[in-house]
Amino acid sequence: MSSATDSASASAGASANPSAADKRPAAGTRGRTRSAYPRYLAGKLAGAVVSLFAVLVTSFFLFRLIPGDPVKFMTGGRPVSAEQLAVYKEEFGLDLPLWEQFTDYCAKALSGDLGTSYQFHAPVVDKITEALPNTLLLTGTAFVLYTALGAFLGTRSAWRHGGLGDRLNTGLALTLYSIPSFWLGLLLIIVLSVGVDPIPGLFPTGGMESGREEGFAHMLDVAHHLVLPVVTLVAVEYGQTLLVTRSALLDEMGSDYLTTARAKGLRDDLVRRRHAVPNALLPTVTLVFVNLGRTVAGVILVETVFSWPGLGGLFYQALSVPDLPLVQGLFFVFAAAVILMNTLADLLYPMLDPRVGR
Amino acid sequence: MTAETTDTTESASGSPPVKSGGPGPRALARRRRRASVARFWREYRKHRAGVFGLAALVLFVLVALTAPLTVGSDVDSVTDAPGQPLESPSGRFPLGTDQFGRNLLGLLIWGSRVSLLVGLLAAVLSVLIGALIGITAGHFRGWYATVMMRITDWFLVMPTLVLAIVLATVLSRSLGTIVLAIGVTTWPTTARLVRAQTLAVESRPYIERAKALGGGHWHIMSRHVLPNVMPLILAQTTLIISSAILAEATLAFLGLGDPAVVSWGGLLQDAREAGSVSSGDWWYLVPPGIGIAVVALAFTLCGRAVEAVLNPRLGVSR
Amino acid sequence: MNRHDQHGSGRTSHRPWRTRLLAAAGAGALLLASGAVAPSVSAADGDGGDKVLTVAVAQSVDSLSPFLAVRLLSTSIHRLTYEYLTNYDAKDNHVIPGLATEWKSSPDKLTWTYTIRSDSKWSDGEQATAEDAAWTFNTMMTDPGAATANGSFVGNFAKVTAPSPTQLVIRLKKPQATMTALDVPIVPKHVWEKVDDFSKFNNDKDFPVVGNGPFVLTDYKPDSYVRLKANKDFWRGAPKFDELVFRYYKDQDAAVAALRKGEVSFVAGSPSLTPAQADSLKGEENIRVNDAPGRRFYALATNPGARAKDGTKFGDGDPSLLDQRVRNALFMAVDRKAIVDKVFQGHAVEGAGYIPPRFSSYFFEPSAGQELAYDPKKAAQLLDEAGYRTNGDGKRLGKDGKPLDYRILCHATDPNDKAVGKYLQEWWGELGISVTLNCLDNVTDPWLAGKYDLAFDGWSVNPDPDFVLSIHTCDALPATPKDTGATDNFICDKQYDELYARQLGEYDADKRAEIVKQMQSRLYDTGYMNVMAYPNAVEAYRTDQIESITTMPSDAGNIYGQDGYWSWWSAVPADSGDSSGSSSSTGTVIGIVAGVVVLVGLGVLFAVRRRASADDRE
């Protein structure tokens, strides 16, 4: 659903992007001295830390709302003596009052311990680090491709703005953008994986590896499994980058300094490439980072459809139990990814835009 | 983002009513509004994609509204299902049947009601929250604004789908839950935009004048700010409906919807559970997805067109 | 990189480079992907000519520790890697020797002596002895962490000893007829005594895992696969396949597609393949659909008024359900034939007694006079008699004058629950009773709290029915409302309990079966557990990869999730094993062509970009 929330900012164009919208006016008020950057940096980092802590707190309390006694789940349907129930409760610290559980949780979280998963009897951190590389592989590949594709097509679209190519381009992007990703994934499975006569299935139906190859063959195997989920993600996500790049560029192309540049006698496409594009990249860059953080969470659907052994699938399994420590841990990771990327965007922004923080 | 369509005309309504001959101030205001609506429509018509989207929407809404007449409410009855399970498309069942032998075309039409309704309600809820927080945070400033904006920021970094899934799990399975889950998780963008607009509106001189003339908070917000952010809210609503419809489908697909209600997302979930993906029963899977995509696209096109009319500088859709 | 820098020529030349790198990386990825189409050979042939049997499962592993694992996949893996004291015959489920070769009970019925076989070796070369078995049971009796999964088996044990390497003695607190059905994996003491916390040890770090079953666990990747190698020294004889791989598919559809393409040899019927999947596979060449009678019953449980052993009543079951006539009437308005025909589309058997017909010695069928056959008119009449009459709107009213509205607890993840629920809504709607489906991911909570009127219920029945019978005794009720009992549905019926105690002390198999039937008859009459159907376990495999495989029971039975290791141990690889080769080579060709097309496209794109940037530099 990353597409769900983002559609607003995407189509509202560059200035609709929340962080970008805020930063433009800020540039004026914040001092322009060089020494301002460290302070800006410190402020942003402190903000990130506060946000992370807020997420930690929420994830703890939010998930206490989920109905379900975890101990009862663990023993669900199996005959268990009352003493044994007490042992479980103690083992997972569920016999303590809520606030004590909370302080425990915070103290442990600070030392990198997110508790023990109820259903897997293993540390949450282990379960997450097991699945994280798989999710990163999937989202990372998709991210590079859809950002490159979106930025490239968006730039082209803006250059030939209003032409047939532009209309086709934005039309296609908007259409793909309106398609539910899980549905597209299922269709791809039917056509490219199950195969429709006379085309045989070209790609594996799910999973990340067939578990038989080693070494280079194993890498090929993983790449082969990667194609369909990546294509799905790229198809539904690139439109947003395209639209933002396009409108940012259009915005920039109306600026006075471009007229000046043209008046200097520079050729039109040079003006665009050297002046307009770099400036228009600013909102795109912000979006790119925000997106990367979001993609990690948005990948839940694609992972479910393609049986990808990543965080999304883990989250869904954990939630249906509910495996509270695991749900909490994953929620924290998802939110932290967004915060991290936002902060990174914030930190990079002044380097890209001389008007901010220098 | 600045929408300058109505402010010049609206500024007059802040001055004390003039009691003299001719049409009263209210009538004047009404006339002005009508004129601006007409102007809006003239501009909107120039955006071909927007007109397209609007036409598609009108069509879908008509289909949904007339569903009780065309297909009837017993289309989802399992005991009186007319066909055999999973029949492929035929003259009798243009889109085949589902695993109970129910007519899929009928279910598709019947399901459009829920999908549109949920999308609409969720978007309205989302925009209501967003607008309320945005306007008040823009108007009151100070610590209230700081707190509100921090909350907004916080919601902004929350992974929306994750939060919505959690909410849908916590609450009982019903349409209300879905509406709530979507509405509560998607408002921050609106709040941000509305606040920015509110700040812009309130910095204009006539607000100073209204305040000097004794306009209270409520007066300023409802009489001056609200009309000015209204177009923005309208555009936001259209855009959010599109994402809300997608979100509804997503949640239903993940099995978090109300199983007793027929919706497009629910149909997709049913299709998957029946195993139609591997059996190649495309007629079960394809139409609901197309329905979702077309409606979402139509709302997006409308939203973009509205936005382009209000803020031509963005040049988003031409 | 700021704006001024970008004017400099030094910078501009960098940018095209970066694009080029990106394009190259993308192209590389695609090349890898299309190249990878090549290795999709038949699943039966692994590296070096090893015969590999790949099984698609829809469940992930919860734990590989026999002390913790409760999921079917994990316990099946333990069946394959550890010997149990006894096993069940593939033909008719009767008890046969496992790690124990023979057993006898003392006259007072309290001491059981098992003779442990001397020809079973652990995979690290050590001998498997009675000491291992005694240690396993003792650990479960003393360490609560080790009792997590199978603690119930040792609940009645007083003392377990191993007087000699071949002799195991178990002393009971009271007689227990299930002593030849102790489904507990026996683990090697010399490996497991090093474990310090059984509640956290998952047995998934050191491979191969030391075991003595027909297969040895050699590799595991969470949410991906579990790999087992044949144990060539297995005392019953080595399995025919060299390797057994369980591959996890979140989605049954993906698993079916994988079977169709030959990526896997077998699709597990747990959850059962849907009718649509089964039908589409039936027409397929080289695929056999095994429509096996299931070991599950699928029932509609009615809340008998939840209560604890201390007598406290809790929960909020509808009071009208306390009337047996109402319960029976509700069941008489359920068209079981329609459920089998429409919901299961023939892949199920109409319900009768509690234990499925596949366990023929315990199977019970109500007599003609006793049967609650489908008869909506009689059901309405019965409700009228019980005092629940319809009002002017055709709504049936409760004793409090409000219309009856039953909440049915249903599993959100089970499509059958939702489907049957829709039918119930319409059937009972005819009676004037409205129905609310309360579909949840996690039904345990309202269930244990007694907050339901009716619920979809189902258990997999073991060859020894003791467990599924025990969960309806008064003794299984929670001690207080705060405790969790073993009870399934809060049933507490004196007559039933007396029969239960009698069968547990009855060591004669035939007499015991007779009592078990009487218990089922009683359960049937009370209307607390209304068995609607016994769903089949529909599974499928490729005959070009598996030539033959043993089902259990052997005449018509299932393959995945047996109460023994017969299926995988007995599976014979097919000779050809490569008939899917032609289609996969076509796939390779097309895949490569697609890759090349994309590459050429990228190349063109790239050339255009380069020309443009060349212009740029001037």
What residues in A contact C157, CB-CB < 8 Å?
none
At residue A5 the predicted structure's pLDDT band, cuts being 50, 70 and 90, is very low
Percent of chain C at pLDDT > 90 equals 51
C327 lies in the same domain as C377: yes
Count how many domains chain C has: 2
C303 lies in the same domain as C403: yes
CB distance from A351 to chain C under 8 Å?
yes
pLDDT over threshold 80, residue B172 = no
Would you call C305 helix, strand, or coil by DSSP? coil
Query: Which residue from A69, A202, A219 is facing C594, i.e. has the nearest CB?
Result: A202
Under a CB-based contact definition with an 8 Å cutoff, are residues A117 and A323 in contact? yes
Give just the sign of the alpha carbon dihedral A331, A337, A338, A343.
positive
The CATH number of residue C38's host domain is: 3.40.190.10
Q: Identify whether C184 is part of a domain.
A: yes
pLDDT at C356: 93
Mean pLDDT of C546-552: 90
Q: Identify whether C194 is part of a domain.
A: yes
> Hey, are the CB atoms on B254 and A304 less than 8 Å from each other?
yes
Q: Identify whether C216 is part of a domain.
A: yes
**β pairing state of C572-573 and C546-548:** antiparallel
Instruction: Report CA-CA distances (Å) from C511 to C93, C353, C504.
Output: 17, 18, 11
Under a CB-based contact definition with an 8 Å cutoff, are residues C139 and C149 in contact? no
Residues C391-431 have pLDDT tens digits of 888 899 998 889 999 999 988 888 899 899 999 999 999 99
Q: Choose the final residue of a domain: C503, C535, C567.
A: C535
Reply yes or no: is the peptide bond before residue C271 cis, omega within 30 of 0.
yes
C371 lies in the same domain as C249: no
pLDDT at A300: 83
C403 lies in the same domain as C478: yes
At residue C594 the predicted structure's pLDDT band, cuts being 50, 70 and 90, is low
At residue C139 the predicted structure's pLDDT band, cuts being 50, 70 and 90, is very high
B-chain residue closest to C430, CA distance: B79
When scoring C249, C251, C253 by the number of chain B Cβ atoms within 10 A, the one with the most, hence best to mutate, is C253
pTM attached to this predicted model: 0.81
Q: Identify whether C338 is part of a domain.
A: yes
Query: Which residue from B249, B278, B307 is facing A11, i.e. has the nearest CB?
Result: B307
> Hey, are the CB atoms on B160 and A11 less than 8 Å from each other?
no
- Chains in touch with B (3+ beta-carbon pairs under 8 Å) read A, C
pLDDT over threshold 50, residue C528 = yes
Task: Provide the domain limits for residue C30.
Answer: 21-265+545-608
Amino acid at A297: A
Q: Choose the final residue of a domain: C535, C562, C586.
A: C535
Token pair for C296: 């599950």
Q: Choose the final residue of a domain: C489, C509, C535.
A: C535
CB atoms within 10 A of CB C78: 24
Instruction: Report CA-CA distances (Å) from C288 to C280, C330, C543, C548.
Output: 11, 39, 6, 11
pLDDT at B164: 83
Q: Identify whether C220 is part of a domain.
A: yes
CB distance from C415 to chain B under 8 Å?
yes
> Hey, are the CB atoms on A206 and C250 less than 8 Å from each other?
yes
By CB neighbour count within 10 A (0-12 exposed, 13-18 middle, 19+ buried), where does C310 fall?
exposed
pLDDT at A335: 84
Query: Which residue from B156, B166, B285 is facing A186, i.e. has the nearest CB?
Result: B285
pLDDT over threshold 50, residue C50 = yes
Residues A194-228 have pLDDT tens digits of 777 667 778 887 788 876 667 788 888 888 899 99
The complex's ipTM? 0.83
The label of the residue with tokens 């007319």 reads B82
Angle at the Cα of B156 from the Cα atoms of B151 and B160, rounded to 5 degrees: 120
d(C-alpha A276, C-alpha C413), whole Å = 53
What residues in B contact C413, CB-CB < 8 Å?
255
Task: Considering only residues C25 and B163, tell me which one the structure prediction assigns the higher pLDDT.
Answer: B163
When scoring C71, C223, C593 by the number of chain A Cβ atoms within 10 A, the one with the most, hence best to mutate, is C223
The DSSP call for residue C152 is H
pLDDT over threshold 50, residue A176 = yes
Q: Which neighbouring-strand residues pair with A20?
A: none
Would you call C458 helix, strand, or coil by DSSP? strand
What residues in A contact B127, CB-CB < 8 Å?
none
pLDDT over threshold 50, residue B151 = yes
Taking the CA of residue C433 and the nearest CA in chain B, the distance in Å comes to 16
Amino acid at B183: G
CB atoms within 10 A of CB C84: 23
C501 lies in the same domain as C589: no
C105 lies in the same domain as C178: yes
C529 lies in the same domain as C550: no
Taking the CA of residue B117 and the nearest CA in chain A, the distance in Å comes to 17
Residues C106-129 have pLDDT tens digits of 999 999 999 999 999 999 999 999
C97 lies in the same domain as C201: yes
d(C-alpha C61, C-alpha C75), whole Å = 9
pLDDT over threshold 60, residue B9 = no
What residues in A contact C155, CB-CB < 8 Å?
79, 81
pLDDT over threshold 70, residue C597 = no
Alpha helices in C480-542 (DSSP H): 494-504, 509-526
What residues in C contact A200, CB-CB < 8 Å?
583-584, 586-587, 590
What residues in C contact A91, CB-CB < 8 Å?
145, 199
CB distance from A59 to chain B under 8 Å?
no
C405: left (phi over 0), alpha (psi -120 to 50) or beta: beta
Percent of chain C at pLDDT > 70 equals 85
Q: Which helix (DSSP H) or strand (DSSP E) does residue C97 occupy?
A: strand C95-97
Under a CB-based contact definition with an 8 Å cutoff, are residues A26 and A356 in contact? yes
Q: Identify whether C276 is part of a domain.
A: no
The DSSP call for residue B75 is G
Q: Identify whether C392 is part of a domain.
A: yes
Q: DSSP characters for C188-223?
A: -HHHHTT-S-TTT--S-SSSSPP--SSEEEEEEETT
The DSSP call for residue C353 is S
CB distance from B61 to chain A under 8 Å?
no
By CB neighbour count within 10 A (0-12 exposed, 13-18 middle, 19+ buried), where does A36 fall?
middle
> Hey, are the CB atoms on B260 and C345 less than 8 Å from each other?
no
C165 lies in the same domain as C126: yes
Would you call C33 helix, strand, or coil by DSSP? helix
Per residue in C212-236, is it b (16+ CB within 10 Å) or e — as a string? bbbbbbbbbbbbbbbbbbbbeebeb
How many residue contacts between B and C have a Cβ separation below 8 Å?
A: 81
Alpha helices in B158-225 (DSSP H): 160-170, 175-186, 188-202, 205-212, 217-219
> Hey, are the CB atoms on A273 and C616 less than 8 Å from each other?
yes
Mean pLDDT of C231-244: 93
Torsions phi, psi of A103, nearest 5? Answer: -65, -40
CB distance from B199 to chain A under 8 Å?
no
> Hey, are the CB atoms on A91 and C199 less than 8 Å from each other?
yes
Taking the CA of residue B94 and the nearest CA in chain A, the distance in Å comes to 20
B-chain residue closest to C417, CA distance: B259
CB distance from A173 to chain B under 8 Å?
no
Would you call B174 helix, strand, or coil by DSSP? coil
C528 lies in the same domain as C554: no
C562 lies in the same domain as C599: yes
CB distance from A8 to chain B under 8 Å?
yes
Angle at the Cα of C214 from the Cα atoms of C212 and C218, rounded to 5 degrees: 75
User: Among A173-187, B83-97, C289-303, which stretch is predicted with the lowest mean pLDDT?
Assistant: B83-97
By CB neighbour count within 10 A (0-12 exposed, 13-18 middle, 19+ buried), where does B292 fall?
buried
When scoring A9, A11, A161 by the number of chain B Cβ atoms within 10 A, the one with the most, hence best to mutate, is A11
Task: Considering only residues B8 and A185, tell me which one the structure prediction assigns the higher pLDDT.
Answer: A185
Under a CB-based contact definition with an 8 Å cutoff, are residues B20 and B258 in contact? no
CB atoms within 10 A of CB C334: 22
What residues in C contact B87, CB-CB < 8 Å?
none
What residues in C contact B272, CB-CB < 8 Å?
251, 253
- In SS3 terms, chain A reads as CHHHHHHHHHHHCHHHCHHHHHHHHHHHHCCCCCCHHHHHHHHHHHHHHHHHHHHHHHHHHHHHCCCCCHHHHHCCCCCCCHHHHHHHHHHCCCCCCHHHHHHHHHHHHHCCCCCECCCCCCEHHHHHHHHHHHHHHHHHHHHHHHHHHHHHHHHHHHHCCCCHHHHHHHHHHHHHHHCCHHHHHHHHHHHHHHHCCCCCCCCCCCCCCCCCCCHHHHHHHHHHHHHHHHHHHHHHHHHHHHHHHHHHHHHHHCCHHHHHHHHCCCCHHHHHHHHHHHHHHHHHHHHHHHHHHHHHHHHHHHHHHCCCCCHHHHHHHHHCCCCHHHHHHHHHHHHHHHHHHHHHHHHHHHHHCCCCCC
> Hey, are the CB atoms on B101 and C275 less than 8 Å from each other?
no
C-chain residue closest to A209, CA distance: C224
C-chain residue closest to A147, CA distance: C22
pLDDT at A80: 58
C550 lies in the same domain as C530: no
d(C-alpha C455, C-alpha A233), whole Å = 40
Q: Identify whether C2 is part of a domain.
A: no
pLDDT over threshold 90, residue C602 = no
Which A residues, 190 through 219, put their C-beta within 8 Å of a C-beta on chain C?
A: 193-195, 199-213, 217, 219
pLDDT over threshold 90, residue B128 = yes
> Hey, are the CB atoms on A331 and B236 less than 8 Å from each other?
no
pLDDT over threshold 90, residue C561 = no
What residues in B contact A4, CB-CB < 8 Å?
160-161, 182, 186, 243-244, 246-247, 250
Mean pLDDT of C240-245: 93
Nearest in space to C270 (alpha carbons), one of C607, C592, C539, C594: C539
Per residue in A266-296, is it b (16+ CB within 10 Å) or e — as a string? eeeeebbbbbbbbbbbbbbbbbbbbbbbbbb
pLDDT at C472: 92
